[in-house]
Amino acid sequence: MKKRTLALVLTALLLAGLLTACGQKPPTDETAKAPDSTTAEAPADTTKEQTELIVFAAASLQESLTQLGDAYMKANPEIKLVFNFDSSGTLKTQIQEGADCDLFISAGQKQMDALDKNAAAEKNPEGLDLILEGSRFNILENKVALAVPEGNPKDIKSYEDMAQKLKEGQVLLAMGNSDVPVGQYTEKILAFYQLSQEQLNKDGALTYGSNVKEVTTQVSEGTVDCGIIYATDAFSAGLTVVDTATEEMCGQVIYPAAVISSSKNPEAASAFLQFLTGPEGAAGFEAVGFTPVK
């Protein structure tokens, strides 16, 4: 028994010595080159920063421009687009007050003119010079549509039919505020049919929205009998359009675009505009009802 015990002790000591020797073994070439966990998780290239472009655009562009923006960023990973969608009047005021903005796409000429030193004095009474020289052009055309809720409960057939039913107090119409392009187009349509907006307000025949999306929501939810919105918003919301306004009724609905003079990245902003006017941009806008301006 003593011999067996001695043998076991000697074996244990031998194994301990081998393990110690292995632990003190110098590193091989491969282990010396192996990166630690911190190095392995580091990104391949951390030196290239994204260029952030801030785009102010009319609310009616939200669906189409968001989709096109995603496609542009995928193809140009060095660009990060940040969108601000609202009524053109609100956006114009924000730009005038110094908000960071690289690119402005308005749903009406009035709001762009108010920022452009090249516009007539009566259109830019404050003499603002906030548009980069040579960057402004017309990009899209839209249509002013008369949309109705699902089922068209009041059986409104056209603008003329709407006008007659408004006179008779039979329908409730949703429209944009007077500082919103779609509201300004609507005012022209009411005047075309010799309808007094003041009287309609007294009769409780009108409701308002601060931008075209709010008007569209009222129609979608059926809280009104009809609403005057853009054809593109009706398309995006799946609403029925019973009529579209002619140029005689409210003029053309043209969307101008321009780079803001205070932009920190005017070249990148211009490049994005070129994309929007190219084949992919045109296809995206046409898919929701816009007509690209040639």
Contact (Cβ atoms closer than 8 angstroms) between residue 198 and residue 190: no
Supply the pLDDT for residue 48. Answer: 63
Any idea which of 27-41, 113-127, 147-161, 267-281 has the lowest mean pLDDT?
27-41
pTM of the model: 0.78
Both tokens of 123, joined, read: 């259109």
Distance CA 211, CA 3 (A): 98
Ramachandran region of residue 102, left (φ > 0), alpha (ψ -120 to 50) or beta? alpha
Ramachandran angles phi, psi of 282, nearest 5°: -60, -40
For 105, counting Cβ atoms within 10 Å of its Cβ (0-12 exposed, 13-18 middle, 19+ buried), the class is buried
Mean of per-residue pLDDT scores for the chain: 87
Distance CA 155, CA 162 (A): 9
Average pLDDT over residues 150-177: 97
Supply the pLDDT for residue 31. Answer: 38
With a cut of 80, say whether residue 133 has pLDDT above it.
Answer: yes
Q: Degrees (nearest 5) of the Cα angle 19, 25, 31? A: 120
Distance CA 166, CA 192 (A): 14
Laid out side by side, the sheet with 291-292 consists of 79-86, 51-58, 103-105, 253-259, 137-142, 291-292
Average pLDDT over residues 194-208: 97
